[in-house]
Amino acid sequence: MGLKLAKTAASRRWRLGIREREALTFYLFIAPAMLGFVAFDVYPIVGSLILSLTDYDIVRAPRFVALANYRELGRDPLFSTALFNTNYLVFYAVPLGLVLSFAMALMLSQKLRGIAMYRTAFFLPSIVPTVATGMLWLCLLQPQWGIVNGLLRLLGLPAPGWLASEDWAKPALILLMLWETGGIMLVFLAGLQDMPPALHEAATIDGASSWDRLVHITVPLMTPTIFFTLVMSIISTFQTFSVVYVVTDGMGGPLNSTLVYMLYLYRHAFVFLRTGYASAMAWVLFLIVLVLTMVQFRSARFWVYYEVER
């Protein structure tokens, strides 16, 4: 009996040793990722929050000013302009991009010969480097000799000034952003292809038209995908920077009509060297995006339908 108890105790110690080794192996494997997360995510986030409470120009040591940077934001007219321009892009570019991407996905979900080639063609603009896209559209939208205005004149239509006009600069940016909707289109296409065909077949047998199937079957089943793309599109639009920097040479003109939030933040951080003020802007943007995202998640229960069973 004693020998049996000793073997049982030894077996338990052996099993405990295996668990400890497995735990050690697990922590060793995740250590590089955790170190990277702390060094490149947590530390910069905490650092920017501390810097937002200081007057810091990179050259001199930070000087604590409490909430002075945030109070200055409320008095800065260009901050209001940048926030308005960014909200303009979010209000128009996001819904237009979602509708256009969904329409393209519907067309590209058809079973036709050579459909893979068309899908590739529609997706390619989204992987073209931003600088190349900006230079391309600068040529297309050039007021005097640009291709777009040339076609408009041939049709007898007025030729806008586009990026050279205060009234047309933001619509021009929206055109550039719609040009790069291939990534969202791909997400919609994946959602459409994952949809159970039996529902459409049953509706067709019952005499439902294509429009009825789209409105009452396709769109409700796609609402989780629409919700995901809506959240991500709003966040990415608030972070618009590269294409605006390229087409306006970093100035946000004409007359600050394309001065978006991230461009203004960049100018304060790396041109004016007002790192504390730029950090305060970053935290204000974070709070704006956080509130909008929370509102979207709260409203999702009223219009997003998750499929439970198939």
Query: pLDDT value at position 21?
Result: 81
pLDDT value at 235 more than 50: yes
Q: For the chain, what are the domain ranges?
A: 72-303
Q: Taking residues 191-212, what's their average pLDDT?
A: 86
Length of the chain: 310
| Whether 64 contacts 149, CB under 8 Å | no
10 Å CB burial of residue 217 (0-12, 13-18, 19+) is: middle
More confident residue, 289 or 10: 289
Confidence of residue 13 (pLDDT cuts 50, 70, 90): low
Residue that the structure tokens 């260009």 belong to: 78
pLDDT value at 70 more than 70: yes
Q: Taking residues 274-283, what's their average pLDDT?
A: 95
Farthest CA pair distance, the chain: 103
pLDDT value at 73 more than 70: yes
Q: Taking residues 123-138, what's their average pLDDT?
A: 89
Query: pLDDT value at position 309?
Result: 47
pTM for the model stands at 0.87
C-alpha span between 152 and 144 (Å, rounded): 12
Peptide bond into 129 cis (omega under 30): no
Q: Which of the following CATH numbers is that of domain 72-303: 3.40.720.10, 1.10.3080.10, 2.130.10.10, 1.10.3720.10?
A: 1.10.3720.10
Confidence of residue 307 (pLDDT cuts 50, 70, 90): low
| Whether 278 contacts 73, CB under 8 Å | no
- From its phi and psi, is residue 274 left (phi > 0), alpha (psi between -120 and 50) or beta? beta
